[in-house]
Structure formats: C-alpha cells, structure tokens
Amino acid sequence: MAHDARDRLNDFALKVGTVNGTGSASANSLLLQALFRMGIPVSGKNVFPSNIQGLPTWYEIRVNRDGYTARSPDFHLIVAMNPQSYERDIDEVLSGGWVLYDSTKELDDEILRDDVTFLGIPLARMCAERFERARERILMKNIGYVGALVALLDIEMDVVKGMLEEKFSHKPSLIDSNFTAIRMGADYAREHWDCPLPIRVRRMDATGDHVMVTGNAATALGCVYAGATVGAWYPITPATSVMDGFKEWCQRFRVDPDTGKHDYCIVQAEDELAAAGMVIGANWMGARAFTPTSGAGISLMSEFIGLAYYAEVPSVFVDVQRTGPSTGMPTRTQQGDLLLTAYASHGDTKHIALYPANPNECFEFAVAAFDLAERFQTPVFLLSDLDIGMNDWMIPKLEWDDDYRPDRGKVLTAEELEEAKSFYRYLDVDGDGVPYRTLPGAHPKGAYFTRGSGHDKYGKYTEDSDAYLEVVDRIARKIQSAAEHVPEPEVHAVDGGARHGIVSIGGCHWAVMEARDELLAEGVEIDYLRVRGFPFGEAVVRFLEEHDTVFVVEQNRDGQLRMLLSMETGCPRAKLIPVRYYGGQPLSKGHVLDAVRPALRAVLTEIAS
Amino acid sequence: MTYIAKPVARHPRMRTNALGLTPRDYEGTMSTLCAGCGHDSVTAALVQAFFELDVEPHRVAKLSGIGCSSKTPAYFVKEAHGFNSVHGRMPSIATGANAANRDLLYVGISGDGDSLSIGLGQLCHAIRRNVDMVYVLENNGVYGLTKGQFSASADLGSRSKYGEENRQGPIDPVSLALSLGATFVARSFSGDKHQLVPILKAGMKHRGFALVDVISPCVTFNDHKGSTKSYAHTRFHMQEVVETDFVPLRREIKADYDEGAVRTVKMHDGSEVRFRKVAADYNPTDRGTVLEYLRASREKGEVATGLLFLEENGLDMHAVENTVDTPLVDLPFVKLCPGSTKLEELQNEWR
C-alpha cells in the first residue's frame, strides 16, 4: 500500500528494533520525551521479550497531531538495529517508507525491498572509533540512531540537549559522551541524506497540561493517595512496577524525617496466595491494603478471594492483565481476566471491578477501589493491562482534591460500641445489605469470629439452611447495589442517538475512538459506551436496549465482555456482535474498522431487505 | 465449629487477675471436639496463660486455618477477635494483620496437616519474617476431620487405626523452625500443663515468631498401639530437656531451685525466662548444639520437650521493615496522603 509521504508532518509511526539488554530503552524514551517536549501528541509502545538479555525487542512511537494515541501498526520508518529481526522488521515498513539500519555490515540482498528507501549508517564502526569501552560502544550505538532521527525527523537539538543535561546532571561526563553520539548520528544523516524526511515534526502546543506516565505508576500513586499502608505482593510481569512505584512514592512521602521510620509496610510474599492472605489480614485490622498481580496471580488467590467475599473483608486486588491462558505471553497485553475477576472463587461469588482505560483512571480508580471495598466490605478488582500499565502514556495532569477523605464505610468506633446494646457482625441493620463491622482491638463488645465457613447473621457458625440463605442472599443484594456506585460508563453519542453502538472496555478506548471518528467522517453514525465498572448499572442496560446492534470490542478470544453483558443484563446475544483482537499487541483502529465496517454493511443490507 | 454457648458460672471466691478478670473470662464457647482430645487441654493451658499474664481479652487476635485444631480459637477468649481462615493460610492472614496493627497479641492455632502439608510454605515464611506471634501447632500425626489419614508429622513405621504402616519420613516442625532461623522454638505435650503454660506465656512475651509444637493426641484416630503420637507413647518417650519458668515483669517469684543451675534470658518487656534442670550438654541459646541434640534424641526415639531454643535479640518483621512504632491502622489519613501540592511537584518530573 503506497502512502502519501509528502504530508506526514506530525503524523506518522516508527518502530525501533534492537536487542534487549543493550540500553535501547533509555534511547527510546529519550526520543519519545523529546517529541513530547516539542508539544506534539505522541505515544510509545514497548514490545519486549520475557528475557533479560539477547532477544529482539521493539519500541513503537506514534506521532499524531490530532492526539490519537492508540497503537498504529502502519510504520513509515523502521530503525533496524538487530540483525536477528532485520527480515521481519524490513517487511513491516509501509511501501514508500524508510529503513534506517546499521551499515557497518551490509544487509543481505534477499531481505531488501525496492519500494522502501534504505538509509545505512555505520553506527557500530563510528562508535568503535569514538568510544573506548565495550559497553559504551553498545550503548552509544543506540544514542547514535536517536541522533540520526533528530536530523531525519527535524527534532529540535536544543530539546534533546536539555534532556541529556537534566538526566545526567549528576554525572556531566555522560552528558558529553551522549551528546557526542547524538551529534555523530545527526551529522552523518545531514551529510548523506536529504534532511528532514517528509515524515517530520514541528513544534506544537498540544502537550502543555500533559505529563508522560505509565498506568502502573499512576495506580501506585493512587494507592498512596488513598491512604493504603500495607502492600503485599509476589513479583509478576506486568504488575511488578505497581509495587516498585508504591515503594518509590512511599519512600518519598511516607518516611518520618526525624526517625526515618516508615508509615507503610511492604511485604514481598512467598506467593500470590500469601499476598492475598496478607491483604485480607491487614484489611481485617482496618488498614487499607492491596496487592498488585496479573491473571496467574488471581488464579492462585481465588480461594482467598472467596473468603474475603463471604466473610466480608474489604480488599483491593490490582490485576494488570497479560496474555493467557496459563503462563501465556507474559510480556504481551490482553483483556483475558474479565470473567475470572467478575466471579473469582468457588461457589456463588461476584465481585466489584473497575476498568481504567488510561493512567488518569488508574489513579482515580485506585482511590475509588479502596472506598468501594470498605463501603461494601468486599474484594474490589482494579483491572488494568500491560499496555496501560507498562507503557508511557501522554495524559492530562493528575488532579487531587485535598478535601477528599476515605469512605471507611460502616465501622463502629469504640465509643459507638460502648453505647451499643449489642453488636452482631452480619445483621442487616439498615436494610441496605451492608452490615456494620468492627476493628480488632477497639472494644470488647466488638469481638466476633471472622470465618469462611457457614455463618448466620449473628456471625455464629451454622449449618442451618435458612440461616445460611439469609446471609448469602443479603451479600448478593449488597454486591448488586454497588452497580450504581462504580464509575459510570463513558458515553459518546451522536445527536438523538444512533441505531448502532459500540461497547468497549479499558485500553481499547483510543482505538475505538479513532475508529468511530473515522466512521463518523464516512457518514456512519454510531454511538459508543465504555464500561468502567462492574456490576453493570442502569446506564449500560439502557445503552444496550436503545441500540439495534451493539459491537462489543474487547481483547480476548472468547468475547468475555460480551458474555458478561449478556449474562448480567439479559441482553439477547444475537444483537451483541463480537469484535475481538487477542494477539497480544495493544488494539489499533484497524482491528475495530475491519470488523465493524463489513458487519455494519451486512446489518444495513439485512435491514434494507 | 458448632457454636454452643457456655453457661456463665462464677464462683464468688474464684481468683481474679490484675484486671479483675477470672479465668472464666478467658474462655470461649463450649468445645465440640471429641471427649479427651488433646486440643482441649491446650485450650485450657492457653486460658491459664492469658489469665496469668493479665492480657486484655479484646487486645488478642486469635487465628487459625482449617482442621480440628483450627476450631479451637472459638473455645478461648471470647472477647478477642477471631479469624478462622482457609486451610494452611493462617500465617499470611496473621502477617498482614500484624503489619497493620502491631499492638495486638497474635495467637495462631494450627495443626500438623494445616502447618506441615498444605500450609508448610506459609509456616516457613512466617518464621523467616519473624512475625511477632505465638504459633501453636497441635500435632497429632493424623487428619481427624477427614477420618484418619496420616499427616506429614506421622513417624516412619507408625501405624494407622486401620493397621496401615506409614512409610514416608516425618517433617519435624521443631528442627524445621530451628533451621529456618526461628527465634523461639518449643515442644510440649498437651498432657503436661505444668510445662506448657510457662512456655505459652514466654511465647506471648517473646518479640518475634514463637513456635510451640504441642504433641496433642487424637483420641479417636491416633491413640492406639502402634501410634507414635498417642498419650501412652508420648508419656513414655517424652524427655524434658529443659524446664522453663516464666517470670513476668515486677512479679519476682521465689526460686525453689539451685540458682547455679539456672540460665536466665531477659525478654523485651523486662520479664524473664529461666531455664533450669538443663541437660549438661544442652544450651537453649545456641542453635547449632540444639539442632545436634535434637537429632541425636530423635534417633534414640525420644521426644525432646521444653522451651528448646530462645534468641531474644532477633529482629521481628517490623524491625526489619523499619515501620513506625504507632500501629499503621492508627495513623491519621492526613499523615498518609501527600496532598495536591506534592502531586503537582511530582508531576513536574513527568514532563
């Protein structure tokens, strides 16, 4: 497919192929950040192997003046730095595009294409000539291609220089060596090629109130701001950086300046089962505690999740989803845990879940997760994914209301217990399905037995049918009542409402938005609802009712969101058309359009006949 | 864990402790275990220990997993918060609870199935973290609730009620705990309250993880000839390696033994543990010699009992994590939330 390469100002995608463990990550983030600092909307997707060193790794950058930040697989330029992946990398560039490669060793003829332009730069040789140490030669090769791109794409040199000065302010010698490598690449490009290329950038003013951050960092910060004091976890990709972030912010904000003591406790558990137990134990005591994990961890935690559900212990589980089943592809993204988290554990269980689509929502929903967990005395899942969690996102600045106070729900204080005639843990005093709880150590009258075995409304062990039913039926009512308290869906509708709709979830958002805008531009009217919480509330039910056809866009094989919608709302499955992509990459607009366009044509034809 | 309330009967001359409470105030609901179960004796010993230490009942957190032993927290200290969790996972609940509120007295009750099979990993890691709690392992070598299967503590060659011979080697929780660096390791017998009560009291005062392995015979499934966890076998083979006294702070008791034979260890709160009648070649504060002694004693078929090892200067989880002295649950929200200005400053670094 030929493309018009003449008007790609601030609108193109490029992909860098390198070897993991060679320091390319910092070169790529330098590139991304430079574009961001030039005020141009940009997004970066790290496609990395589950490996420490030596395997192919890629970094994709999309520059888009209109602010679309979904992944774009239409690469106008490929930076091919890894001979292992030359063939597939060169194969991926759009016709009419460019391949920037290390020409120290020439490319094999059979992988060359005549519809793309090859830009060879002898980076390895140039680095060998300029730098002494072996490690430096490898690292600077990466900075060298950034230099070439500075010239090729017309990135402002001052911006890059300023960033190097900031980054290495503690070690000025690194500023010099890095800048030498940048100039080396840029000078070579200007001497040998027409710079800039038709794909190029020019300063804009579209990122001023924005920041670049990963979803996991934002989730961690949300946990800090929510007042979480105990974090228990077992390391797992792609959730590890949630706890890394929590630790970082705690060390920054939660260490007593006088004593050096911590206002938090992070426990690295022996496995996910123990992490779940610790979270439940800490919440039982009245702390706000959470665990970050991924799907495999949720599987392991499931027994404990059922305990927390039945014994009504608040708890927050962050699930940064990755590609399943089983170990799956640990470094690829998916939305495969929707059903798992909705009903985790044996017996009749159902859980509150929140579905953020970006780091802003990771931050806000993390706080909401603790409030909901305490208000409804139950596990709450924050369902992020690898794309949201680990990639850098350009987002509007996070905001915080200093008047916020945690919603601790119905917790009886020592004074209230002192006054009370009696206290029974599972009694539905207010008729809203939410009983009162007490915290251990507060007052002798508050004591009760927390247990996962059958209990009656007084908290006593029971094997009596009626006493059992009374409690489990109340819990079902309680969870359902949370539907109107989870974040409301985000709805984009045409005036008067369209006949057809899209329902989607989480990280699909930007791809759906971009696809929908393209459909609207083509004259196809379609509404869009993004679910943000579970159980589904009235707004979701209404949207399904009001549209003849609803495309359910999600990133898993079996259409889990579609199943959930149909099971939970009674919406006929026939009108829910599955649009699924589950290959492990973030969703792009093509996935949506390729499914929606023909289906919509079929639907329209059917209606016409 | 059937719930049967115990009638409140109070003898006017029943003794009271410093809080004005009687031993009755440390009891729970009626036990539903088999008549003669060793676990009920352990419960009685716990009641006495709590009473004698003047523990405020509502400042106790009692936890358990699943199994006969795990039912027993219902049978003591009814004004304490209890948590009957899932099988083998009580240590993690206790760890999280202790992380959140370090000021309560944590007592975990478990059994040999709960601790040495399904929960072995959690037990080991709670020991490694040195979570400040008393961990009572009511050890009878058999699964009771599921009717008589061997547990992981059943000795080689011991026979089940149905005549089957156990051919897998046992896991000895005492040696295990010692090798994992436990700072308080004891073994006792449910039939020896005189030995068990001071051990439990010392464990409650110990800062860190106190493992108390209690041979607690199962009268229904493992009290027959051929069992090595029966009352008769334990009584016959039990060898008290050290006798232990626990001396609470400010309550000096007259020693009725030769002072020269006493080894004293001071606890964190100033109370003391006194080891007496210690075997000549035994040093309860030296991990290496204790392990060696226990190995030799096991080979002779003896069941070594007593407070076998104590190290009072080990770092507990909070010391390692450097958490504040105030329980985390008591920290006010304003101290925990950095606020909008800090958020603005932080985000300036994200550009």
- Give the pLDDT of residue B251: 58
Residue A1: predicted pLDDT: 37
Question: 3-class DSSP state for residue B265?
Answer: strand
Shortest alpha-carbon distance between residue B119 and chain A (Å): 10
Chain A hits for B329, CB-CB cut-off 8 Å, are 229, 285-287, 439
Which of B60, B63, B92 is the best residue to mutate to test the A interface, defined by the most A CB atoms within 10 Å of its own CB? B92
Using pLDDT thresholds of 50, 70 and 90, give the confidence band for residue B256.
low
Tell me the shortest Cα–Cα distance from A207 to chain B, in angstroms. 9
Mean pLDDT, all residues of chain B: 92
Between B59, B82, B333, which is nearest A441 by CB?
Answer: B59
Q: How far apart are the CA of B332 and the nearest CA of chain A, in angstroms?
A: 9
Which distant-in-sequence residues (6+ apart) come within 8 Å of A22 by Cβ? A53, A138, A139, A141, A142
Cβ neighbours of A398 in B, within 8 Å: 343, 347
- Say what the pLDDT of residue B275 is: 83
What average pLDDT does range A519-526 have in this prediction?
Answer: 94
Contact A282 B350 (CB under 8 A): no
Spatial distance between the Cα atoms of A410 and A304, rounded to a whole number of angstroms: 22
Question: Which of B73, B81, B96 comes nearest A232 by C-beta?
Answer: B96
Strands (E), B190-293: 209-215, 238-240, 243-247, 263-266, 272-276
Are B129 and A267 in contact (CB < 8 Å)?
Answer: yes
* Closest alpha carbon to B187 in B265, B334, B302, B271: B302
Look at residue A3 in the predicted model and tell me its pLDDT.
47
Q: How many CB atoms lie within 10 A of CB A364?
A: 20
Q: Is B215 helix (H, G, I), strand (E, B) or coil?
A: strand
Average pLDDT over residues A128-145: 94
A450 to B82: CB separation less than 8 angstroms, yes or no: yes
Please answer yes or no on whether B58 and A227 come within 8 Å at the CB atom: no
Domains in chain B: boundaries: 23-325
- Cα–Cα–Cα angle for A493, A494, A499, nearest 5°? 85
- Give the CA distances from residue B220 to residues B109, B115, B160, in Å, rounded to whole numbers and listed in that order: 20, 21, 11
pLDDT surpassing 70 at residue A568: yes
CB contact under 8 A, A406 and B97: no
pLDDT band at B261 (very low <50, low <70, confident <90, very high): low
Does position A605 have pLDDT exceeding 80, yes or no?
no
> For residue A16, what are its two tokens?
């860098």
> Which residue does chain A place closest to B122, by CA atoms?
A274
* Whether the predicted pLDDT of B129 surpasses 80: yes
Chain A, 474-493: which have a CB under 8 Å from a chain B CB? none
pLDDT digits 0-9 by tens, A86-115: 999 999 999 999 999 999 999 999 999 999
Q: Is the pLDDT of residue B206 over 70?
A: yes
**B101: Cβ–Cβ under 8 A, 6 or more apart, which residues?**
A285, A286, A287, A440, A441, B61, B327, B328, B329, B330
Complete domains list, chain A, with CATH: 8-200 (3.40.920.10), 213-396 (3.40.50.970), 414-484 (no CATH), 490-608 (3.40.50.920)
Residues of B in contact with A249 (CB under 8 A): 338, 346
Looking at the complex, report in whole angstroms how far the Cα of residue A427 sits from the nearest Cα belonging to chain B.
17
Q: Is A263 on the interface with B (CB under 8 A)?
A: yes
Q: Which of B1, B81, B125 sits opposite A448 (nearest CB)?
A: B81
Nearest to B92 among A277, A287, A442 (CB): A277
Fill in the amino acid letter for A606: E
Query: What confidence tier does B5 reach under pLDDT thresholds 50, 70, 90?
Result: confident
Closest by CA to B90, choosing from B217, B218, B209, is: B209
Model pLDDT for residues A418-476, shown as the tens digit of each residue: 999 999 999 999 999 999 999 999 999 999 999 999 999 999 999 999 999 999 999 99
- Residues in chain B closer than 8 A to A36 (CB atoms): 351
Angle between helices A465-481 and A295-311 (to 10 degrees): 120
A278/B92 CB distance under 8 A = yes
Query: What is the CA B170 to chain-centroid distance, rounded?
Result: 20
Query: In whole angstroms, what is the distance from residue B1 CA to residue B70 CA?
Result: 9
Distance, CA of A368 to CA of A219 (rounded, Å): 11
Give B263's pLDDT tier (boundaries 50, 70, 90): confident
For the domain covering B23-325, report its CATH number: 3.40.50.970
Q: CB contact, 8 Å: A257 with chain B?
A: no
Interchain pair B321, A406: CB under 8 A = no
CA of residue B279 relative to chain centroid, distance: 24
Q: Which residues of B touch A444 (CB under 8 A)?
A: 57-58, 79
Helix axes A24-37, A157-167, angle to 10 degrees: 120
Sheet holding A549-554, edge to edge: A490-492, A527-531, A500-505, A549-554, A576-580
CA distance B105 to B49: 13
Q: How far apart are CA B7 and CA B270, in angstroms?
A: 38
Measured CA angle at A534 (ends A529, A536), to 5 deg = 55
- The residue-averaged pLDDT of B168-196 equals 96
User: Which residues from chain A sit within 8 angstroms of residue B79, using beta carbons?
Assistant: 444, 447
CA–CA distance, B155 with A440 (Å, rounded to integer): 39
Contacts of B25 in chain A (CB under 8 A): none
Strands (DSSP E) found in A339-443: 352-354, 379-385, 392-396
The pLDDT tens digits for B12-45 are 778 999 999 999 999 999 999 999 999 999 999 9
Nearest CA in chain A to B104: A441
Q: Which residue shows structure tokens 């159902």?
A: A350
With H, G, I as helix, E, B as strand and everything else as coil, classify residue A322. Answer: coil
Q: How close is the nearest chain B Cα to the Cα of A171, in Å? A: 18
Contact B83 A449 (CB under 8 A): yes
Residues 6 or more apart in contact with residue B183 via CB below 8 angstroms: B130, B206, B208, B209, B210, B310, B311, B312, B314
Contact with chain B for residue A402, Cβ under 8 A: yes
Contact yes or no for A269 and B339 at CB 8 A: no
Q: Taking CB atoms and an 8 Å cutoff, what residues of chain A touch B350?
A: 211-213
CB contacts under 8 A, A 34-73 vs B, are: 36-37
| Dist CA A432 CA A437 (whole Å) | 14
**Widest Cα–Cα separation across chain B:** 76
Rounded to an integer, the average pLDDT of B281-310 is 92
Contacts with A452 from chain B: Cβ below 8 Å: 84-86
Q: How far apart are CA A308 and CA A87, in angstroms?
A: 51
Tell me how far apart the alpha carbons of residues B209 and B123 are, in angstroms, rounded to a whole number: 10
Residue B77 corresponds to which tokens in the numbers above? 């200290």
Give percent helix, percent strand, percent coil of chain B, each to the nearest 5: 35, 20, 45
Q: What is the pLDDT of residues A153-194, one digit of tens each?
A: 999 999 999 999 999 999 999 999 999 999 999 999 999 999
Could you tell me the two tokens for A55? 């395997």
Residue in A211, A282, A401 nearest the CB of B347: A211
What pLDDT, on a 0 to 100 scale, did the predictor assign at position A581? 97
What ipTM was reported for this prediction? 0.95
Tokens of A446: 């508050």
- Looking at the complex, does the CB of residue A162 fall below 8 Å from at least one CB of chain B? no
Angle, CA of B293, B297 and B303, to the nearest 5°: 120
Of A225, A282, A400, the CB nearest to B100: A282
Note whether A452 contacts B85, CB cutoff 8 Å. Answer: yes
Poorest-pLDDT segment among A68-72, A293-297, B257-261, B283-287 = B257-261
CB B84 within 8 A of CB A473: no
Residue B3 confidence (pLDDT) above 70: no
Residue of B79, B101, B350 with shortest CB distance to A213: B350
Strands of A493-548, DSSP E = 500-505, 527-531, 533-534
**C-alpha–C-alpha distance, residues A99 and B11, integer Å:** 93
Q: Could you tell me if B39 and B138 are in contact, meaning their C-beta atoms sit under 8 angstroms apart? A: yes
Mean pLDDT score across all residues of chain A: 96
Task: Please give the backbone phi and psi of residue A102, each rounded to the nearest 5 degrees, phi first.
Answer: -85, 110
The count of CB pairs under 8 A between chains A and B is 230
pLDDT exceeds 80 at position A479: yes
Average pLDDT over residues A223-243: 98
Q: What is the pLDDT of residues A319-340, one digit of tens each?
A: 999 999 999 999 999 999 999 9
Instruction: Please identify which residue in the block is written with the tokens 């898993």.
Output: A556
Residue B228 in this model has a pLDDT that exceeds 80 = yes
- Does the beta-carbon distance from B83 to A406 stay under 8 Å? no
- Spatial CA neighbour of A364 closest among A166, A469, A219: A219
Q: Other CB atoms closer than 10 Å to residue A574's CB: what's the count?
A: 8
Measured between CA atoms, the residue of chain B closest to residue A258 is: B324
Mean pLDDT across B311-333 = 97
Contact B80 A447 (CB under 8 A): yes
Chain B: closest CA distance from residue A276 (Å): 8
The minimum CA-CA distance between A301 and chain B, rounded to whole Å, is: 11
Mean pLDDT of A65-76: 96
**Model pLDDT for residues A388-430, shown as the tens digit of each residue:** 999 999 999 999 999 999 999 999 999 999 999 999 999 999 9
End-to-end CA distance of chain B: 58
Query: Does A254 reach chain B within 8 Å, measured CB to CB?
Result: yes
CA trace torsion B250, B196, B47, B59 (10° rounding):
60
Does A34 score more than 70 pLDDT? yes
Q: How far is A328 from chain B (nearest CA, A)?
A: 26
Nearest-Cα residue of chain B relative to residue A224: B337
> Cβ contact (<8 Å) for A461 and B1?
yes
Please state, in angstroms and as integers, the Cα–Cα distance from residue A235 to each residue in A190, A215, A258, following that order.
46, 17, 31
Could you tell me if B139 and B213 are in contact, meaning their C-beta atoms sit under 8 angstroms apart?
A: yes
**pLDDT recorded at residue A169:** 92
Q: B interface mutation test: which of A248, A265, A398 has the most B CBs within 10 A? A: A265
**Is A96 within 8 Å of chain B by CB?**
no
pLDDT tens per residue, range A191-218: 999 999 999 999 999 999 999 999 999 9
Please answer yes or no on whether B329 and A281 come within 8 Å at the CB atom: no
pLDDT of residue A54: 87
- Residues from chain A that touch B331, judged by Cβ atoms under 8 A, are 229, 263
Taking alpha carbons only, the member of B36, B74, B85, B62 closest to residue B136 is B62
